[in-house]
Amino acid sequence: MINYKVNDQKLLVNCTPIYENIVDRSSADEKGLRDFILNEYKELKKKPSPYKSGGLRKGRSSYFETDLFKLNNPFIKEIEDVIYSEVQKYYNWLTELSFGSESFDIGIQAFYQVMEKGDWHMYHNHSSLTNTTFLSGCFYIDGGDAGKEFGGEFRPLLNPYMVQEGDENSIDITPTNNKIIIFPSYMYHEVSPYSGEKKRIVLAFNVYKER
């Protein structure tokens, strides 16, 4: 599999631009954000799940039930600012690659996922969530047990428009603390089974054009 390096970012051979960066959050209250999400997750696990498949919590959803960025919470506000800043960097990178640019207002909807041992996520994309969603991404608040030996890899497909299984048709990106990944919403991707003992906390988000 071939990757081209452009400004230290990955441009897949099929020209699907995937942005990957480690965010400096040394001044942030990282423990406060982790504790807030884990407390919400603890309450969510008490409720019956409406989801019947997908591999998350073996039938129990670990998703927050509303848009995180609508909450009036200082920990969420800090990470919201981080996500908006990184999305701007991604868009700037695209314009440098001569993809063209257009000025418009965006919104970002976010939710969390807490992965435990045995959790995974089937191939999917986010383009059908709203008709104006055009970028999606994930931010690893806590990478849990990080390393290829623990699985839970973010796995985008080389052909972003259709599911083709097999190692030759995808790449693996290993989660670590404060890593952000941004990609076009149409890109199919999965998360491989996670075998770590520590909980992995992920904030997923979708960028849409404001109407």
Question: Is the predicted pLDDT of residue 143 greater than 90, yes or no?
Answer: yes
Average pLDDT, the chain: 80
Sign of CA dihedral 134, 205, 9, 171: negative
User: Tell me: the pLDDT tens digits for 3-51?
Assistant: 334 444 454 445 578 888 999 998 889 999 999 999 988 887 777 665 5
Helices (H), 116-188: none
Tokens of 211: 């109407």
